[in-house]
Amino acid sequence: MLTAADLAAIWLTLKLATITTLLLLLIGTPIAWWLARTGSKLKGSVGAVVALPIVLPPTVLGFYLLLLMGPHGVVGQFTQWAGIGLLPFTFWGLVVSSVFYSMPFVVQPLQNAFEAIGERPFEVAASLRASPIDAFFSVAIPLAKPGFVTAAILGFSHTVGEFGVVLMIGGNIPGATRVVSVQIYDHVEALEYAQAHWLAGGMVAFSFLVLLTLYTLNPGRRAR
Amino acid sequence: MSDGIRARFGIAYEGFGLDVDLTLPGRGVTALFGPSGSGKTTCLRAIAGLEHAPGGYLAVKGEVWQDDANGVFLPTHRRALGYVFQEASLFPHLDVRRNLDYGMKRVAAAQRRVAFEQAVALLGIEPLLERRPAGLSGGERQRVAIARALLTSPRLLLMDEPLAALDHERKREILPDLERLHDELEIPVIYVSHASEEVARLADHLVVLDAGKVLAAGPLAATLARLDLPIRLGEDVGIVLDAAIVERDAAWHLARAEFAGGSLWVRDSGHGVGQRVRLRVLARDVSVTLRPQEGTSILNTLPARIVDIAADGDPALALVRLDVGASPLIARLTHRSAAALTLAPGMEVWVQIKAVALIG
């Protein structure tokens, strides 16, 4: 059965994934909107930076985030100056790195959803006196709803499955940075296969349910 | 003219330019007519501010919407206009009622001049209010879109081929609605179309565009009667007459419609005596004789005077512009007939009109 340490890891993982997903919806929406609508020359570069975590080994991403947030990094110096202290090996350090790590899984579905709306509904909204901001909330967001569902589910589950970045940034601190994937690793290292099975099997079931929900709720968009 | 519409746009795209300078009346329906690619829609979009024509000028009933010389360009959402797009453009996430509300609630209550019930009744969409756009037919969607545009109480209503995506039956259903709208509301309409039937039925004022330039602009009847336009209404060369029903013959199911210069018998379509109607006479249905004919099946024979003769697109055919009293008429004849009858401007002749369409 699950031990108290296992339950703590599950709780921490869910907390991390929830906070990360919420932050990503807030940050990712304007980025996706901009990427979907801009004619700027920067579009390609920004899109590529957002997509980097898809191709980079998590250890590479974790390594640079560690340097950036460390005592000599730009972010680290800022957080120390702001009185927050240093982020590596803290829960909030994990949140920040998860935001980067899961960013493409939120931004890309949103961008696709925004692009699929096309120009016409916004022209219609403008002819009905809606300002661009108004049309964003009254037209773009409702029409992109399937994209938001996909983005939230993918962002959440991708954060749950994170391992390499966590090890690089968070290490293995119970209750602060020891998430499920790390806990499984520890069990296997200690040859506690039964314990590992409970968590690993749970992850398989969880992932299957997430994808099942995604494909059932959103068949049209996935098929396209 | 402060109650009219003044529009001056020059847009240069690759391979296409729009160069128009228009003064349009501030009431009634103005048709922008021309073949595809003539710049009709671009012109309409420039009026709406969906397209920014640099160096342009646009004033609607004394309100300047664009004056690039003075750095004025109101974004679309700050222009008091309604826009009906070619294809149904209802918001799929809102039901019909909330689609209608969308524009209305964004207009200050004090500026609303079209009531919800009025627009709903005018377009006959009361039974659709709780439905979703996805469940509506093309014609129903377009009616809702028109009502939605009206509910913003626009100072100018722009319609971009609103019937183009509809089949013939649906068109016939909506045309009367558009006519009612024309009759009941004081909102000027700019109507883009390449369908001569719609133009003849709805327009009061006609602007003919080709390759981004204005070929002709003026009152409908006078503009249709011009022979010098390289773009005509195709097979449908003809004129319209504003008339009134003055007599009904119940025995033969006919009605007599009087226009400036004469009267014509038309099939009785239920219009009461005194009602104003519009008649359309196509050039191909008009023939010319030197003397009034006897023993003909044709009901309508009128005296006329030839004003001008011009070549038609087909080398065998000529178009003859005539005056019947104060009204213009066009006849399409073969050159051979014209020569045989020695027709010439100034001649007094008789015209036989084989068919008259009563449109609205």
Q: Given an 8 Å threshold on Cβ–Cβ distance, is A124 in contact with B92? A: no
Residues of chain B with CATH 3.40.50.300: 5-224
Q: Could you tell me the pLDDT band of residue A221, with boundaries at 50, 70 and 90?
A: very low
B159 in contact with A at a CB cutoff of 8 Å? no
CB contact under 8 A, A126 and B85: no
Domain count, chain A: 1
Q: Which residue, among B175, B248, B207, B179, has the nearest Cα to B44 in the 3D structure?
A: B207
Give B89's contacts in chain A (Cβ within 8 Å). Answer: 120-121, 124
Domain of residue A149, CATH code: 1.10.3720.10
B82 touches A: beta carbon within 8 Å: yes
Which residue has better confidence, B88 or A162? Answer: A162
What's the CATH class of domain B238-358?
mainly beta
Q: Do B91 and A124 touch (CB under 8 A)?
A: yes
Burial class (CB in 10 A: 0-12, 13-18, 19+), B339: exposed
Give the structural domain span for A73. 4-219
Dist CA B193 CA B278 (whole Å): 19
* Nearest residue of B to residue A132, measured between CA atoms: B77
If interface means Cβ-Cβ distance under 8 Å, which residues of chain A face chain B? 120-121, 123-132, 134-135, 138-139, 142-143, 145
Q: Which of A119, A123, A128 to mutate to test the interface with B (most CBs of B within 10 A)?
A: A128
Strands laid side by side in the B348-353 sheet = B286-289, B348-353, B300-311, B317-324, B327-334
- Asked if A129 and B82 come within 8 Å (Cβ–Cβ), the reply is no
> Residue B102: closest CA among chain A residues belongs to which residue?
A128
Nearest to B85 among A120, A131, A138 (CB): A120
Residue A201 lies in a domain: yes
- List, by residue range, all CATH 2.40.50.100 domains of chain B: 238-358
User: Please, are residues B99 and B93 in contact by the beta-carbon 8 Å criterion?
Assistant: no
CA-nearest of A166, A183, A165 to A174 is A183
- B165 at interface of A, judged by CB pairs closer than 8 A: no
Q: Which residues of chain B have pLDDT under 70?
A: 1-2, 229-235, 360
CA distance to partner chain A, nearest, from residue B309 (Å):
46
- Tell me the C-alpha distance between B82 and A129, whole Å: 9
Summarize pLDDT for A164-186 with one digit per residue, the tens: 999 999 888 888 889 999 999 99
pLDDT at res. B38 = 87
The fold adopted by the segment(s) B5-224 is Rossmann fold (3.40.50)
- Answer yes or no: do A130 and B77 touch at CB < 8 A: yes
Rounded Cα distance, B27 and B5, in Å: 9
| CA separation for the pair B358, B271 (Å, rounded) | 10
Whether chain A has a CB inside 8 Å of the CB on B291: the answer is no
With CA atoms as reference, report the closest residue to B85 among A200, A123, A118, A220: A123
Tens digit of each residue's pLDDT (9 = 90 or more) over B11-58 = 887 777 889 999 999 888 999 998 888 889 999 999 999 999 888 999
B141 within 8 A of B170, measured Cβ to Cβ: no
B106 CB neighbours in chain A (<8 A) are 128-130, 134
Does residue A204 lie within any of the structural domains? yes
Residue contact A142–B77, C-beta within 8 A:
no
Percent of chain A predicted with pLDDT > 70: 97
- What confidence category does residue A224 fall into, taking pLDDT thresholds of 50, 70 and 90? very low
Distance from CA of A124 to the nearest CA of B (A): 7
Are B246 and B263 in contact, with CB atoms under 8 Å apart? yes
Nearest partner of B214 among B10, B49, B5, judged by Cα: B10
* B85 touches A at CB < 8 Å: yes
Q: pLDDT tens digit string along A107-143?
A: 999 999 999 999 999 999 999 999 999 999 999 999 9
% of residues, chain A, pLDDT over 90: 81
CB-CB contact of A24 with A155 (8 Å): yes
Percent of chain B with pLDDT strictly greater than 70? 97
CB count within 10 Å of CB A4 equals 8
Above 70 in pLDDT, residue A223?
A: no
Q: Which residue has the tokens 């068109």?
A: B171
* Predicted TM-score of the model (pTM): 0.83
- Domain-embedded: residue A224: no
The pLDDT of residue B233 is: 56
